[in-house]
Amino acid sequence: MSKLTREEWAAGVALYRQAARKRAAQDLQNVTLKLNRFVGESFYLTGQVQSAYAGDAGRSRRVLGAGAQTHLGERLLIGANCSPAQAAVARGHRRRRHRAADAYVGIDLTRSLSLRLGGAGEVGERRARQHGGGLALAFTFGVASRP
């Protein structure tokens, strides 16, 4: 008999404040499609595709990482994820490598559908800094896997 592995598909939009571009810094909006595969009750691996649709960026990127999620009561949930090897991103007039981190709070609309509001930021060598936030809709389901 096979067991079910919990997975989530999430789609959302995000706004990054004052993201530097080739010209002056300006706000950047992107759309994200994300798959989370749970490897335990609360921990998951994540794969994301993010594509900018406004803010003079016109680029897409793939992001791999890990995260954790837990319920606080019957319908409220919190979670966070981090991608340890993010591509170099221009902030101001400098380019540097950073690790992206997202934290979110959500509410279960149904047993398999949740709405999430989160903050997007980066974790540097000395500090963490928030750059924006986003809204996502997530669909949770089970996939049969070998015991």
Sketch the domain layout of the chain as residue ranges: 3-145
The predicted model scores a pTM of 0.77
Q: Which position has the higher pLDDT, 50 or 36? A: 36
User: Quick check: helix, strand or coil at residue 125?
Assistant: coil
Dist. CA 20–CA 16, nearest whole Å:
10
Q: Is the pLDDT of residue 70 over 90?
A: yes
Q: Please tell me the predicted confidence (pLDDT) of residue 2.
A: 72
Q: Which position has the higher pLDDT, 17 or 129? A: 17
CA 28 to chain centroid, in Å, comes to 16
User: Quick check: helix, strand or coil at residue 23?
Assistant: coil
Q: Please tell me the predicted confidence (pLDDT) of residue 25.
A: 62
Q: Please tell me the predicted confidence (pLDDT) of residue 56.
A: 64
> 3-145 — its CATH code?
2.40.160.20
Q: In the predicted model, what is the mean pLDDT of residues 17-31?
A: 65
